[in-house]
Amino acid sequence: MPNLNCPVINNYYLMRRCNRCSETKKGISFYNNKGRLSYTCKKCQYSLNSTWLKKHKLKRKRWDRNYRLQKEYGITTNQFNKILLKQNGKCRIRRSNSPGRGHENFNVDHKHGTKVVRGLLCFDCNTGIGKLKDNPVLIRRALRYLERN
């Protein structure tokens, strides 16, 4: 019988029940920290870690978005959501339900040079008025042009 107090030998000979998947596995399937085997097997530990990582990444992404919204437009994600709710979840111009072109969120349309938010627009509308320099004079002219022709 090998010396089971030796951590290395222990790894190979000791059977251990994982307290997560309840499978009994060889010691080698568990992480060994200075001779003490972990309670969960490597496989379970791995999936626990990746679940944590996914959650963490999502949290990080939300945090980043909130930061960007505040920095660029002076609004929080909560305020963004409130505006979207007021707009019934639709673009203010085209009334589309989707931000369009694979975008996850509607664009925050703001007065140039300021942080004054006018509303949320889909990608196409935001680009559209942007191409006409967000200029009511030009947009009115374009409107007259379209209606006359």
Choices 75-83, 85-93, 101-109, 139-147; region in contact with Zn ion by CB under 5 A: 85-93
In this chain, which of 37, 41, 69, 129 binds Zn ion, going by CB under 5 A? 41
Options 21, 48, 116, 138; binder of Zn ion; rule CB under 5 A? 21
Task: State the Cα angle at 79 between 73 and 85, rounded to 5°.
Answer: 120
Rounded Cα distance, 22 and 121, in Å: 52
Shortest Å, Cβ 42 to Zn ion: 8
108 lines the binding site for Zn ion (CB under 5 A) = no
CB 10 within 8 A of CB 4: yes
Compare residues 70 and 87 and give the one whose CB is closer to Zn ion.
Answer: 87
* CA distance linking residue 19 with residue 21, whole number of Å: 6
Smallest distance, Å, CB 3 to Zn ion?
A: 27
Point out which residues bind Zn ion (CB under 5 A): 18, 20-21, 41, 44, 91, 93-94, 122, 125
